[in-house]
Every structure is written in C-alpha cells, then in structure tokens.
Amino acid sequence: MAIILPDLPYAYDALEPYIDAETMTLHHDKHHATYVANANAALEKHPEIGEDLEALLADVEKIPADIRQALINNGGGHLNHALFWELLSPEKQEPTAEVAAAINEAFGSFEAFQEVFTTAATTRFGSGWAWLVVNAEGKLEVVSTPNQDTPISDGKKPILALDVWEHAYYLKYRNVRPNYIKAFFEIINWNKVAELYAEAK
C-alpha cells in the first residue's frame, strides 16, 4: 500500500471565478502530487511505522528522526491538501445552524470570526495555513501554522483550512493575498465543515 493522490471532488474549473483552473491544475497535479511522492519515499525507509499519517503527525516525536522532517513537510502537505480540496465548494453555501452557533459562541459573530480568520491568513509570514480548529477543550479557535505543519501535531482538530502558500493564489491574485482570502469565503463547503465539527467535538 502507499498514499494515493485523491482526485479533486469537482472539475478543475469548478471554482471559477474565485480560483482559476490553471491554479487548481498545478496545485493538485504538481504540488500535491509531489507531497504524496515524497511522503511515500520517506515511509518506505521505515515500513514498521505504517502509513497512518494522522496518527504519526499527532505524535511527531515517535517518527524516526531521519524521516521526521520529511513527514512533517510532505505527510502534512498531503493531509492538508486532501482536506483543503474537500472544504471548497462550487456552490455557495451558508454555515449550518450548529456551526453558526458554535462560531457565534466562540467569536461573538460570524463577522468577528471572519475578521480573526482573515487576519491569521493575512499575517502568516511566508508560506503556511490558516485554520479553524476544535481545541482540546472542545472549543473553536483560529490558528495559523508555517509551511505544511498541521494543527493535529498540537492536539487540535482542523475543521476549516486555507492554504496561503503563494502557489495557491499567485497566478490569479499576484501579491494581493487579502483578495484571495476574501474569495475563499465565497467557496467554503460549510457542509463539510459541519461534518468535521460533529466528528471533532
């Protein structure tokens, strides 16, 4: 067995005009595929640890030292992207009642959440991700991580993710990351967020 690159759950152009088809093609077929290949190469060196990336990245100190950073980078890259694709929707959706209530409880309002999330995504220096997570206390929290680090490694369960590496947006938005973040809110798959929230609570 090996980690497999998942198909996108929609066509490459399905997220137009918010994310262009060329970006989606390069992002999925090249960038994500490279993370999968490199994660598999690392895992082949230590077949005894298995291939459960979530379990491995939940306790990175148990990953053999010679492949630890490779799995943080590439195993994380695979998990993050596999989740990211599922969190995007060609059809405009609204947060479910349960998710909306949880957001209001944690942040005061949806607008306040959007502002906190946007700030986390905008101010992530260099490459990384912005996340809405369920923390160890079962509460919603916005965090950001560098590179391909996953909140799973900090004991948090991601339910919404935004890739702010330049490869995710530069062809369309150039250096104006805030416009990409604004567009992201038009294509969130809130039904998937609700599913992940129900599992994480």
Give residue 1's pLDDT band: very low, low, confident or very high (50, 70, 90): confident
Q: Which domains does the chain have, with CATH numbers?
A: 21-86 (1.10.287.990), 97-200 (3.55.40.20)
- Consult the annotation and say whether 31 binds a ligand: no
pLDDT in tens, 181-192: 999 999 999 999
- Consult the annotation and say whether 167 binds a ligand: yes
For residues 177 and 164, what is the distance between their CA atoms, to the nearest angstrom?
8
Mean pLDDT score, 6-29: 98
- Consult the annotation and say whether 52 binds a ligand: no
pLDDT in tens, 57-85: 999 999 999 999 999 999 999 999 999 99
Give the CA distances from residue 65 to residues 69, 71, 77, 141, in Å, rounded to whole numbers and listed in that order. Answer: 8, 10, 18, 31
Q: DSSP of 108-176, one letter per residue?
A: SSHHHHHHHHHHHHHH--SSEEEEEEE-TTS-EEEEEEETT--GGGGT-EEEEEEE-SGGGTHHHHTT-
Q: What is the dihedral of CA 118, 167, 160, 121, to 10 degrees?
A: -20
Provide the terminal-to-terminal Cα distance of the chain, rounded to the nearest Å. 31
Q: What is the mean pLDDT of the chain?
A: 98
Q: Are 112 and 118 in contact (CB under 8 A)?
A: no
Give residue 54's pLDDT band: very low, low, confident or very high (50, 70, 90): very high
What's the one-letter identity of residue 102? A
pTM higher than 0.95, yes or no?
A: yes
Mean pLDDT score, 128-153: 98
pLDDT at site 136: 95
- Consult the annotation and say whether 78 binds a ligand: no
